[in-house]
């Protein structure tokens, strides 16, 4: 028996085993990375779905509540004709100026109720915006959140919820507000 030949074969087999092990590990790492990415996407979508559901439930409870619904009905009759969006408690096509005029018709108590309800909506939308903006989130989720924001942004401004320019959410709201008010100004 030639021990040198046996040693060379053993070294070759060892090297082959190392290469096979490295290939196996690289495959496992790649698969784990895909699973992690899918889990992050799923988590982000679930968060957006839950927040959207919470916002919808908040709005539905508000519509069933004399505490807020009476205020919204008063606003609907004061605002210019437009498509009433019950899901977001807003009026399609109403500008910030329209909302400001309508809000001036409310008592301090009514305006306070409407303000705090909308502050909660604004906060929920802000969280949804950031969750839907995560790189792992589905682009559909961000589009959905932006549509909700677009329907409410003129109302938020009229209520005195100000948008800063040093924050991505606030920049989006400012841009949406300018576009919404510009469209309304063209219609007048």
Tell me, yes or no, whether 117 lies in a domain.
yes
The overall pTM is greater than 0.75: no
Question: Who contacts 89 (Cβ-Cβ below 8 Å, separation ≥6)?
Answer: 59, 62, 63, 68, 72, 117, 121
pLDDT of 64 reads: 65
pLDDT tier at 150, thresholds 50, 70, 90: confident
7-31 mean pLDDT:
89
pLDDT of 149 reads: 87
What does pLDDT average to over the chain? 80
In the structure encoding, which two tokens stand for residue 126, read together? 């802000």
In the structure encoding, which two tokens stand for residue 181, read together? 């008010």
pLDDT of 59 reads: 65
Tell me, yes or no, whether 101 lies in a domain.
yes
Tell me, yes or no, whether 74 lies in a domain.
yes
Tell me, yes or no, whether 19 lies in a domain.
no
Domain span at residue 138? Answer: 39-187
Question: What are the b/e assignments for 35-62, b being 16+ CB within 10 Å?
Answer: eeeeeebeebbebbeebbeebeebbeeb
In the structure encoding, which two tokens stand for residue 72, read together? 């919204």
Domains contained in the chain, number: 1
Tell me, yes or no, whether 21 lies in a domain.
no
Q: Report helix, strand or coil for 138.
A: coil
Higher-confidence residue of 105 and 49: namely: 105
CA gap 131, 155 in Å, rounded: 23
Tell me, yes or no, whether 33 lies in a domain.
no
41-70 mean pLDDT:
71
Tell me, yes or no, whether 90 lies in a domain.
yes
């Amino acid at each position: 028996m030639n021990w040198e030949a046996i040693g060379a074969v053993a070294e070759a087999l060892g090297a082959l085993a190392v290469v096979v092990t490295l290939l196996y590990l690289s495959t496992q790492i790649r698969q784990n990375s895909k699973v992690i990415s899918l889990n992050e996407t799923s988590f982000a979508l679930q968060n957006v779905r839950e927040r959207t559901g919470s916002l919808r439930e908040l709005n539905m409870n508000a519509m069933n509540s004399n505490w807020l619904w009476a205020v919204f009905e008063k606003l609907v009759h004061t605002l210019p004709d437009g498509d009433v969006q019950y899901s977001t408690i807003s009026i399609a096509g109403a500008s910030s100026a329209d909302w400001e005029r309508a809000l001036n018709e409310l008592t301090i108590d009514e305006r306070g109720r409407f303000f705090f309800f909308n502050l909660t909506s604004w906060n929920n939308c802000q969280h949804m915006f950031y969750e839907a903006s995560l790189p792992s989130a589905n682009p559909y989720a961000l589009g959905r959140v932006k549509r909700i924001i677009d329907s409410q942004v003129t109302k938020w401004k009229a209520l005195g919820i100000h948008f800063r320019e040093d924050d991505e959410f606030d920049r989006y709201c400012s841009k949406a507000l300018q576009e919404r008010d510009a469209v309304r100004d063209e219609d007048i």
